[in-house]
Amino acid sequence: MIINQIYSIDSCDDVELNIKRGSKLEFRLTYDDSKEIEAIVCIISGLGGDIDDNLYIEEYCARNYNVAVLSVNYHCIGNRPQTGASFYINELDRLILKTSLEAIGIQLPVDMQNLKTYDEFYCVVDFVNKFIEKLKKEKELSEDYCLYLSVGLEPTKNEYQNYGIMQAMDIINAILYININLPFKVSNMSTVSRCKGYFKKNM
């Protein structure tokens, strides 16, 4: 029978930046409990269009080969909208908006400092967009004018991007945890990785 087992374990702190980790390392192990496992295949997810394919790939491999498949939700995987990140605005975003609007003579009906959430920011941007369309129709702005704005992305689980170190450590820690706590029968097991994130695979 195909087993999909979810783990949530402690992983390492960020020693490089001296930040104590506040989130758990989560990963899924998929295997057929009727087989003797010969290898652990580690899928390292990227953020592309195939991000939702992992479960299909895991179950296919476990069903058709004598392998267990490990899929790791490494540190800061939730750093894009499609993986759960949310938009936010900060002082720099407000300054860019204010300066850009002043350059084309648009005065906002609200104080820029009162914009705290992305939804409030979006309402202002919608107002600005309509105003720019009006200026274009009146030939006060050229038809190809674009207003460039800035917003940030806040990753899930209060995590942050540290460009590979924590992610690589999480993948190693997940593999080590499974190697120590094998829930299946093994036969001359080895570990293989299938990586959509080339950078993390080579760390």
Alpha-carbon torsion angle 150, 104, 145, 117, nearest 10: 30
Cα 35 to Cα 123: distance, rounded to the nearest angstrom: 56
What local confidence, expressed as pLDDT, does residue 198 receive? 46
Secondary structure class of 126 (helix, strand, coil): helix
Say which DSSP state 106 is in: P
Model confidence over 111-147: pLDDT tens digits? 877 877 778 888 888 888 998 999 899 998 999 998 8
What local confidence, expressed as pLDDT, does residue 188 receive? 65
Which segments of 63-161 are extended strands (E)?
Answer: 67-73, 86-88, 152-154
What local confidence, expressed as pLDDT, does residue 25 receive? 95
The pTM score is 0.73
Say which DSSP state 93 is in: H
Q: How many helices (H) and strands (E) does the chain have?
A: 5, 7
Say which DSSP state 108 is in: P
User: What backbone torsions phi and psi does residue 155 show, to the nearest 5 degrees?
Assistant: -65, 160
Average pLDDT, the chain: 84
**DSSP-derived secondary structure for 44-55:** E--SSTTGGGHH
Model confidence over 137-184: pLDDT tens digits? 999 899 999 888 888 889 999 998 887 889 999 999 999 999 899 888
